Structure 1
Amino acid sequence: MSARRRRSLALAAAVATAAALGATAAPSASAAAVPLDGYELTWGIKASYRTYVTTFAQGTFTPGAGASQAGNNGAFTFTGGTGTYDSTTHVMSLGFRGELHVKSEKHGFELSLSDLKFDSGKGEITADVERNGTTEDDVPLATVTVTRAMTDMATTLTKEAGEVFGSASYAGAEGDPLSIVKKADPEPEPEPSTTEPATTPPA
């Protein structure tokens, strides 16, 4: 394993541990901010919501711009996560690429989620939400129980999520688990050989 990859994985492990133990204090101007990149966030919102959209509402989920959906109407993954780890407050803040468009002509709704953000100090996931021709920035969609592993973290949908997804019953309901992973850096390409070809056949 290359030294670069070992450093990247070591930093990811340290950040995940610190995030799990993180304080909620606001970062100070003098705090040492460690840049982070290459993270992915996977979250399905709520399985029953996905089922409702694609069956009863005869609607669709259309991910794009860096987002994707697992097969069989599965969870959504947002890529290109960048942000910082604050070594003073031990808070990880990340923003992700990708958009998710949700539409049902039968039930008459259409919305888009983009600019998903995760804050380990607040234990919160937010997104910009476009509905009815207007966009509201940084809408809190769920609270997150941050864990050391940063995978399969429990989520609870917010009141705002109930409004966004069209059911007051979602407010305070259990959401799908949320995972944040650091994608390993690819191994560097081998250097091309500089050995000169033989000019005479071997004896």
Structure 2
Amino acid sequence: MIQSAKRCVRKTIGKAQLTYDEFITIIAEVEMILNSRPLSYIESDDNEQPLTPSRLIIGRRVINLPSVESNDTFEEEFRITKEELHDRMKYFHVLLNHFWMRWRSEYLIKLSDTHRHSPLKLNQSGRINKGDVVLIHDEELPRGQWRLGVMESLFKGIDRFIRGVSVRTHSPGGQITTLRRPIQRLYPLEVSATSEGEPIECSTVVNSPKV
């Protein structure tokens, strides 16, 4: 996990021209991305929020960088124009989105590979059941956000292998909806894919970020 994150950070900002404070800010955002990944699912949670490393560390979900708004105001004491500050923030988001897409891809591949080599294989008949909670691959979600779903129905092919799943999930507006997805677009949660006794990796930084 940490090696994958370091590799993605190097490929994303290895040649970027950043000040020390800018670098610390981006690392803090990377920390948020890593610690917002769903480890498991709390059935008793009224808000149906996944159990993440950040909730285990500080008891709540961490917040990412603010979005860039045209009406944001800046103090006059800065020796930089408002347009330059906006351009810098947009540059931050470009770097972070690049990291997010690269790391998410590696993370999902790792989840898939880990589960494939475990006794529970998603594509074998009878190995997954109605009610299991899975991670749904969704390219449209904002950076650092994940979509969980509960499997309701399994669809098998003529070879008796499971090829598709009906998943109950929440729409972006918060409404309950049912989706049908191929098995290749669903991933087990990290705890279910981790062997017993293996520690869960969490990312932390020592100092608070400066923006």
TM-score normalised to the size of structure 2? 0.26
More strand by percentage: 1
Structure (1 or 2) with the larger CA radius of gyration: 1
TM-score normalised to the size of structure 1? 0.27
**Structure with the larger RCO, 1 or 2 (CA within 8 Å, 6+ apart):** 2
